[in-house]
Copies of this chain bind each other. A is one copy, B any other.
């Protein structure tokens, strides 16, 4: 690979002039510019960005730490972040943690050593152990948290209003006549999960329906957990007439469990979930879902981060962006709870 020196020699100019031609940071006479350009194309010269990074002390790289890109919620978010990053000439480096805190710590350390200019972080469940994040910020690397929020940390963040989304969803189920609504949730250590649970409780409470702890089942945000917890609920003495899954994978698990038990959706059990799938409408049952603006979360997160990096956003107070969820009602929740069915399964109509 040719260096700036070789280009300079071939064009019979100084390296400074070549640099000026390449970066346009200072005027160069047409004659010399011509010669430089010719040498560049002749030598197939590509500036060494590593050397530049060392000199100007910025890599124009952003770290993106997600739990698992194979979870269909994240690719959209990553695309949003990538589009914003590239439009500002940053490169996005995405790494998965699988929600392991130790891995997250290690990755943050790698990103520091790599001197990324900033980090977009989807936190792992952490029990308040956030010193690694604090240290990263203290080392001068701005961090913007996406999707999940750190209860005990003052940091910029972009996320959906999860309480509200869950409220909308559960209110809808109640309006369809369901009073016995099971919820399957990921780790309530994640504020995402606890907020959705709170929304569920709010909606029930405002409708005067007492909270039944038996209807609340906690696992992780994977399909398998959704399947297992749903099965537990559907086989319990007081079978719920509706299931609220707190993310898409758990929702699919609920569908699988429902099917496997020979129950019809929505006639026997209604299902609604947090997160919509891009492919949802192509599949049966058409699932009622709370759509999150995943792309926007990524995009706005990256914009905010870049604002911090470049100083256009300043101020000590953390910036909190809450995006609006959208309820998409589809057939999976459209069967109303029928007293007859409730009677059959021995569950008396409540309220």
Contacts and interface: CB of A to CB of B under 8 A. Distances in A.
Interface of A: 1, 44, 46-51, 53-54, 59, 68-70, 72, 74-76, 78-79, 82, 86, 91-96, 109-110, 112-115, 135, 139-140, 223, 227, 249, 252-253, 255-256, 259, 278-279, 281-285
A114 B94 contact: no
A50 B53 contact: yes
A59 B69 contact: no
B278 A256 contact: no
Contact of A110 (B54, B82, B91): B91
A252 B75 CA distance: 18
Nearest to A255: B282
Nearest to A141: B1
A109 B86 CA distance: 14
A214 B255 CA distance: 37
A84 to B, nearest CB: 13
A259 B286 CA distance: 11
Nearest to A249: B279
A253 B278 CA distance: 12
A249 B256 CA distance: 21
Contacts of A96: 79, 82
22 contacts: A44-B135, A46-B112, A46-B113, A50-B53, A50-B59, A50-B115, A51-B54, A54-B54, A69-B78, A70-B76, A70-B278, A72-B72, A72-B279, A79-B96, A82-B96, A91-B110, A91-B114, A92-B94, A93-B93, A223-B279, A223-B282, A249-B279
